[in-house]
């Protein structure tokens, strides 16, 4: 057993260049390499691939990896080839000559991993080929595709259970980043993993810093955030509509940023080209609808911004989770407002779903909204949503810059009683106008200018009242009528405030200055390090262009960081650099050493005298 562990660790270091396993990777590798099937749940960026790639190198035969998207397969194969592991993928676009070569390499035992789409795997022709092949293991990636509960349902996945019957001696690993209880049950059922152990990693992504701001001029706020913290970095900006995608991309470009749009209305050619630029270059911002992202494994995305609030925590977590897969500091920035909430409610209410489904979706939306409104740590409710209890994280806006709350009981009582007096039939705009004593015809026609609450809130601005309303929604004191989704109404919790004298603490109504979220390059300690970092990035980009692969396939950001901080001088030093295995040392080692020698030389020339 320990020999097996030593082997796994040696491969981790020599091939992939990493010093240690993360989380439960070591146990998972051990289980699979030992020939047992299992189910793995890990958040995006958690490191699922190594869980089967290392056992594939430890066991005899070829590993068959099922993956739902060609883009994912290609990315994995490019990564493996870059570290010197013989792997390939077969899909609709693979040339017949190449397929023949792959078959030959499998039979002569040189190919270690083969990526295939599920429909090909379950075809009789392919299965007959496998019958005469030595298979080390089956890995079923994105295993939630098996379930109709999820949003990525792929019917062919449900047939993968046949692998258990046809190849009972071959261990299988199912992996996914999104699996609630129902999905997990489906995975176990359809993939015949009922008795297999489950390895569930924490869903926390500690390197992602969460920041939520209230919207007043979204695009401008976004621009400020990028200019302040994220200039020159790769990022994704999500918008709700195509129009807003176009506008935002144009706005950011007009301010000198490399922003490109991506949505389903663009031609296939433009989409492919824009996606390609995003993955290959290292300072592109993609502005996109949620259509963008699945199948993009770029590890050095430094920020994900939401210009509108997503409809659920699951969506938010999956989208924001595309930042910082390499484990370096990354940011999730979210901008939201009440209109945003109302629009999403409207979408749900006007969708064709039945009432039960609508209720589920509304409660998911409210949970998301509560994360935006909270004055406490953001991570706590996010993780609780995935069944994990945690304490304040120290890496979100509320932890870093705790909002100073004030006793807002009187303001809240005014709002609640006004909502009550207008009959719980009107939207926020109307209620606020009554509170502020606006002499509008509609208000007069309804006789609401005679109410005791008419004009009792004249001292506060419209904006202030909107902030109070939002917070009351977030606190669950009010909600909106399901039949008339604009209309505000009181919840049972409101009673304690109106008649029970319960105190309500509110966040400041005026927007607080946002704190810097800190970018990746915070670790750069000196100007010299900054220069070395830039030169290495430049070298990496040139190299990537020459090889026609994404920059991160050459070296990840963490590898560059490790080089900047250690300035290796000998080949032995290179083995200590994060992410440098033998294949990369052989290929790029001398370039790196030359560059480092040059930097050392500069220092000796007196660059650092002062």
Q: Which is nearer to Zn ion, 157 or 336 (CB)?
A: 336
DSSP-based three-state secondary structure for 335: strand
How many angstroms separate the CA atoms of 599 and 593, rounded? 10
Min dist. Cβ of residue 49 to ligand ADP (A):
3
Q: Is 47 one of the binding residues for ligand ADP (CB under 6 A)?
A: yes
Which region, judged by CB under 5 A, interacts with Zn ion, from 100-108, 196-204, 385-393, 598-606? Answer: 385-393
**Rounded to whole angstroms, how far apart are CA atoms 414 and 433?**
13
Which member of 30, 142, 186, 297 binds ligand ADP (CB under 6 A)?
A: 297
What, of ligand ADP, Zn ion, none, does residue 411 touch, CB below 5 to 8 Å by kind? Answer: none
Non-local CB neighbours of 21 within 8 Å, separated by 6+ positions: 8, 9, 12, 29, 50
394's tokens: 């120290």
According to CB under 5 A, which one of 28, 50, 179, 393 is a site residue for Zn ion? 393
Query: By CB under 6 A, is residue 42 in contact with ligand ADP?
Result: yes
Residues 346-375 binding Zn ion (CB under 5 A) are none
Least Å distance, CB 503 to Zn ion, is: 24
Cβ nearer to Zn ion, comparing 404 with 483: 404
Quote the longest CA-to-CA distance of the chain. Answer: 90
* 90 belongs to the binding site for Zn ion (CB under 5 A): no
Sign of CA dihedral 67, 549, 108, 29: negative
Size, binding site for Zn ion by CB under 5 A: 5
List phi, psi (to 5°) of 271.
Answer: -60, -45
- Rank residues 76 and 395 by Cβ distance to Zn ion and give the closer one: 395
CA distance 543 to 562: 19
What's the closest the beta carbon of residue 394 comes to Zn ion, in angstroms? 6
Angle between helices 582-602 and 527-547 (to 10 degrees): 140
Q: How far is the C-alpha of 59 from the C-alpha of 137, rounded, in Å?
A: 8
DSSP letters of 502-520?
---EE--SSPPPPPP---G
User: Contact at 8 Å (CB) between 70 and 228?
Assistant: no
Q: Is 212 in the site for Zn ion (CB under 5 A)?
A: no
**Which entry of Zn ion, ligand ADP, none binds 396, CB below 5 to 8 A by partner kind?**
Zn ion
Query: What's the number of CA atoms in the CB half-sphere (13 Å) around residue 572?
Result: 0
CA-CA-CA-CA torsion sign (448, 449, 450, 455): positive
Q: Which of 41, 45, 143, 369 binds ligand ADP (CB under 6 A)?
A: 45
Q: Cβ of residue 279: shortest distance to ligand ADP, in angstroms? A: 13
Residues 546-565 that bind ligand ADP (CB under 6 A): 556
Q: Shortest gap between Cβ of 79 and ligand ADP (angstroms)? A: 7
Number of chain residues interacting with ligand ADP (CB under 6 A) = 17
- Closer residue to ligand ADP, CB minimum distance, 175 or 252: 175
- Please spell the DSSP secondary structure of 68-87, one letter per residue: S-HHHHHHHHHHHHHTT--E
Is 326 a binding residue for ligand ADP by CB under 6 A? The answer is: yes
Site string for ligand ADP, 249-268 (x = CB under 6 A): --------------------
CB closer to ligand ADP out of 49 and 274: 49
Q: Using CB under 5 A as the criterion, which residues of the chain lie in contact with Zn ion when the complex forms?
A: 377, 379, 393, 396, 399
Q: Using CB under 6 A as the criterion, which residues of the chain lie in contact with ligand ADP when the complex forms?
A: 18, 21-22, 25, 42, 44-50, 297, 299, 325-326, 556
């Amino acid at each position: 057993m320990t020999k097996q562990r030593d082997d796994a660790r040696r491969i981790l270091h020599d091939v992939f260049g990493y010093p240690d396993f993360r989380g439960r990777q070591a146990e998972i590798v051990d289980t699979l390499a030992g020939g047992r099937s299992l189910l793995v749940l890990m958040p995006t960026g958690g490191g699922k691939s190594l869980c089967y790639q290392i056992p594939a190198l430890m066991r005899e035969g070829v590993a068959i990896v099922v993956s739902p998207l060609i883009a994912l397969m290609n990315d994995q194969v490019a990564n493996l080839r870059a570290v010197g592991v013989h792997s390939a993928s077969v899909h609709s676009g693979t040339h017949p000559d190449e397929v023949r070569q792959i078959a030959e390499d499998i039979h002569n035992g040189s190919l270690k991993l083969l990526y295939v789409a599920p429909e090909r795997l379950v075809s009789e022709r392919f299965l007959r080929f496998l019958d005469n092949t030595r298979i080390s293991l089956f890995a079923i990636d994105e295993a939630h595709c098996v379930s109709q509960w999820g949003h990525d349902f792929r019917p062919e996945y449900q047939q993968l259970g046949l692998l258990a019957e046809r190849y009972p001696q071959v261990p299988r690993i199912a992996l996914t980043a999104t699996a609630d209880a129902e999905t997990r049950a489906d995975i176990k059922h359809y993939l015949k993993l009922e008795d297999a152990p489950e390895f569930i990693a924490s869903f926390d992504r500690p390197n992602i810093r969460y920041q939520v701001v209230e919207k007043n001029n979204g695009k401008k706020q976004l621009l400020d955030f990028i200019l302040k913290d994220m200039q020159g970095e790769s990022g994704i900006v999500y918008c709700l509509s195509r129009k807003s995608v176009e506008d935002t991309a144009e706005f950011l470009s007009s301010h000198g940023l490399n922003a490109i749009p991506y949505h389903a209305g663009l031609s296939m050619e433009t989409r492919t080209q824009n996606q390609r630029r995003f993955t290959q270059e290292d300072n592109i911002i993609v502005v996109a609808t949620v259509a963008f992202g699945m199948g993009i494994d770029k590890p050095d995305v430094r920020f994900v911004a939401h210009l509108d609030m997503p409809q659920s925590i699951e969506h938010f977590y999956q989208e924001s989770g595309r930042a910082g897969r390499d484990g370096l500091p990354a940011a999730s920035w979210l901008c939201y407002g009440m209109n945003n909430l109302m629009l999403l409610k409207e979408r749900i209410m006007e969708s064709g779903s039945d009432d039960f489904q609508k209720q589920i979706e509304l409660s998911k939306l409210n949970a998301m909204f509560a994360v935006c409104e909270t004055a406490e740590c953001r991570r706590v409710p996010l993780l609780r949503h995935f069944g994990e209890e945690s304490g304040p994280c120290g890496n979100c806006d509320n932890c870093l810059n705790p909002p100073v709350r004030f006793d807002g009981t009187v303001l809240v009582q005014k709002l609640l009683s006004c909502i009550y007096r207008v009959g719980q039939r009107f939207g926020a705009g109307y209620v606020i106008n009554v509170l502020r004593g606006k002499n509008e015809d509609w208000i007069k026609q309804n006789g609401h200018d005679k109410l005791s609450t008419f004009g009792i809130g004249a001292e506060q601005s419209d904006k202030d009242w909107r902030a109070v309303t939002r917070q009351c929604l977030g606190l669950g004191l009010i909600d909106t009528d399901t039949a008339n989704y604009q209309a505000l109404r009181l919840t049972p919790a409101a009673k304690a405030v109106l008649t029970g004298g319960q105190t309500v603490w509110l966040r400041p109504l005026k927007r607080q200055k946002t704190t810097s979220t800190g970018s990746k390059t915070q670790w750069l300690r000196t100007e010299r390090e900054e220069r070395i970092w830039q030169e290495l990035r430049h070298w990496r980009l040139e190299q990537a262009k020459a090889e026609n692969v994404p920059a991160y396939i050459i070296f990840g950001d963490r590898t560059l960081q490790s080089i900047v901080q250690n300035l290796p001088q000998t080949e032995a030093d290179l083995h200590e650099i994060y992410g440098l295995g033998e294949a990369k040392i052989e290929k790029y080692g001398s370039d790196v050493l030359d560059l480092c020698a040059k930097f050392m030389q500069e220092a000796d020339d007196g660059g650092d005298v002062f």
